[in-house]
Amino acid sequence: MAFQTAIHGFETTVYDISDEVLEKAKAKFEGLAESHKKDLGATEEQITKARERLHYSSDLAFAVKDADLLIEAVPEDIKIKTEFYKQLSAIAPEKTIFVSNSSTLLPSQFAEVTGRPAQYLNLHFANQIWLRNTAEIMPHPGTDEKISEEIVDFSKAIGMVPILVKKEVPGYVLNSLLNPFLNAGMQLWIGDYATPETIDKTWMLGTGSPYGPMALYDIIGLTTPYNIYKLQVEKGKTDDKIVLDKLKSTFIDQNKLGISTGEGFYKYPNPSWQSPDF
């Protein structure tokens, strides 16, 4: 999100909890730069200018001191998000619009704690946003309509296709379609009906898709499904506890979080699902 914003001409500050994490972000941006060159034909001049527009800070007050827009992408945990917004609302300028990139949580769950409910809504991006350039915009009942319109305009300005969701729904449009598909793959794996490779191969051969659900989990990052299943268990969906425990022991506890750490269901940078003879 930050790189997409910077390469389209906006001064962009990346905030995270430590300088160590921010160094990892810088390294990731170098990978994104190569992807923009390869997939979109970005020039070296465009990449250089994007780097110059990217700024980094582990000081939240400094990071937001003159922000017009803040995009929150902290983990899918209600407590963490609530505490973050409480901290943020006390230090951000009155003009700052807050948006959340939450995959599953609704803006109405946090609107009041932001301290600016009329200037708050969700803005959700797909993975590989330079290619899958949807920007799902989901206001809550108290969002100012003009703010929604500003986010539509911003989305267009950073090369996205705005998808305006008429009212709140967990999963927006994309994930409402995608989550049942991913969950079906997860249940096949958890039930030991098929290996991740067999699950993905079946889907790829049967539909012509470039990857299957297990590879897609690696692309998304396994922390996200872990947090989603954790939320479902906390809501009383006890059947999901077996999935939660398996994800924790197999991936989370071993820091095998997908592409970002070099291993998830597959090993990277050369996963078997990308092999021509897969």
Residue 260: CB partners within 8 Å, gap ≥ 6?
A: 28, 221
Distance (Å, rounded) from C-alpha 150 to C-alpha 105? 22
Rounded Cα–Cα distance for residues 31 and 44 (Å): 14
Reference 211, options 237, 178, 241, 239; nearest CA is 178
- Cβ–Cβ under 8 Å, residues 119 and 98: yes
Identify the residue whose tokens are 């991006």. Answer: 125
Locate tokens 């996200």: which residue? Answer: 224
Which residue is it, tokens 């929604």?
Answer: 148
Q: Which residue has the tokens 């250089």?
A: 48
Instruction: Name, in order, each residue with C-beta under 8 angstroms of 226's C-beta and a sequence gap of 6 or more.
Output: 244, 247, 248, 251, 252
Residues that are catalytic: 103, 124, 136, 175
